[in-house]
Amino acid sequence: MAETTALVIDQSGSKSTPPESTNPALEWPPVLITRETIDGEIERLADLPRPDNGRRQVQFVHPSANPQTPGLNPGVRLTMEVLLPGEETAPVRHNSTQVNFCIRGQGMTIVEGKQIPFSQYDVWNHPSYLPYRHVNNSDKLHVRFTYSNAPLLEMLKVHLVEQNPPLSANVNLVDSTAAPSNRGASPYGTFPIDDEGALLMPYETLISPPAVESKALHWPWETVQENLDKLTVLGKDYVGRRLYLMYNPMTGRSNGTTPSFFATITIRPPNIIDRPHRHVSAAINYYFRGAGYSVVEGQRYEWRAGDLMVSAPGWAVHNHASYDEPVYELTVQDQPLHIMMESLLWQESMKKPAAILGSSVGFATNRETG
């Protein structure tokens, strides 16, 4: 291997590295993928001969994305996959995590031997590095969106994908009944060096952190909708958003569906207009019922059921509104990643200061308790 020499770049007196953009959202502007485009791709994929791995799929990529790390926003890849009746995909595993959303038909996902039967508008997650495959055990076409943090791993040059792995790899399983092992433990342990919380941790603990079980979880639309519809009683004066997070408890305080991003489903009653706000995290919305519009950095975008939109580029001022019928939408946003990086700057109201969520006091709505 040839020797590589690092560049040395003088940054003396520099105010920012890299130089600040006057408006970061303009570098990754909103983009709308219409229902007609999506339906056209579904038809095209369904007409293809079955690939060897069974995965008829297409990526929706933002025009600003790096070709080497394609995504619909910088940290999230959105793939649409079509399975014909009776088909299944070949097993695969990778160290990226995923959220799946069924937009048409039904089927079953098998993750590390666990069967997850799903129907239209169901949500389920895939933990890292567990083998999985998808099965269309119905007599109708199945279409699914998959959201992945692969672009981030590819940017770091560490996205590892294994085709046709053993169907029971057991690399990510935690035995909750097993007693802690002292094998190789440091005699000194982890200990404080001051009164403010600084600690020293030995190598033996560094390479064996406490394991948290990461499960494949399932949020059926029938149950989600039943609870979501109860939020319609919140009146027009409510300043929050009527949604539920598909919460995965292994993400803890970062409020995620996966460690990198969350999936929420929102209901917007007729003629509701959200107040403008902004956040560092970027959002992708799929509107599966109803119609309305979004205003992003002063520009209005119309959408309707079946449209997919990068509706909130990082730190862009935005809000959404419904027309004269209820709207349901799935939102995927990389908020959990930013919470853990201590970078989630959030401004819930443009009339009040922003806050770093997760390390400072967050915001409250005007919803009554009880």
1 located within any domain: no
pLDDT of residue 162: 94
Of the candidates 141, 135, 143, 79, the residue with the CA atom closest to the CA atom of residue 107? 135
Residue-number span of the structural domain to which 292 is assigned:
28-167+217-352
The model's pLDDT over 68-124, given as tens digits with 9 standing for 90+, comes to 999 999 999 999 999 999 999 999 999 999 999 999 999 999 998 899 999 999 999
Number of domains in the chain: 1
pLDDT of residue 18: 57
Residue carrying structure tokens 């319609």: 232
Residue carrying structure tokens 């990643």: 337
For residue 283, give the amino acid letter.
A
For 206, the token pair is 């560094």
The model's pLDDT over 302-314, given as tens digits with 9 standing for 90+, comes to 999 999 999 999 9
Distance CA 226, CA 340 (A): 32
23 located within any domain: no
90 located within any domain: yes
189 located within any domain: no
pLDDT of residue 362: 79
The model's pLDDT over 224-274, given as tens digits with 9 standing for 90+, comes to 999 999 998 888 888 888 999 999 999 999 999 999 999 999 999 999 999
172 located within any domain: no
148, β-bridge pairs = 77, 98
367 located within any domain: no
The model's pLDDT over 14-32, given as tens digits with 9 standing for 90+, comes to 776 555 555 666 688 999 9
163 located within any domain: yes
CATH number of the domain bearing residue 53: 2.60.120.10
Instruction: Name the band, by pLDDT with cuts 50, 70 and 90, for residue 358.
Output: confident
Contact 304, 297 (CB under 8 A): no
Sheet strands (E) in 206-290: 218-219, 243-245, 262-268, 278-279, 283-289
pLDDT of residue 183: 57
Average pLDDT over residues 173-180: 53
Most confident of 182-196, 209-223, 234-248: 209-223
- Better pLDDT: 252 or 184: 252
- Count of positions (residues) in the chain: 370
Distance CA 362, CA 347 (A): 10
Most confident of 12-21, 37-46, 161-170, 172-181: 37-46
336 located within any domain: yes
Percentage of the chain beyond pLDDT 90 is 72
For 329, the token pair is 């939408």
Q: Can you tell me whether residue 294 is helix, strand or coil? A: strand
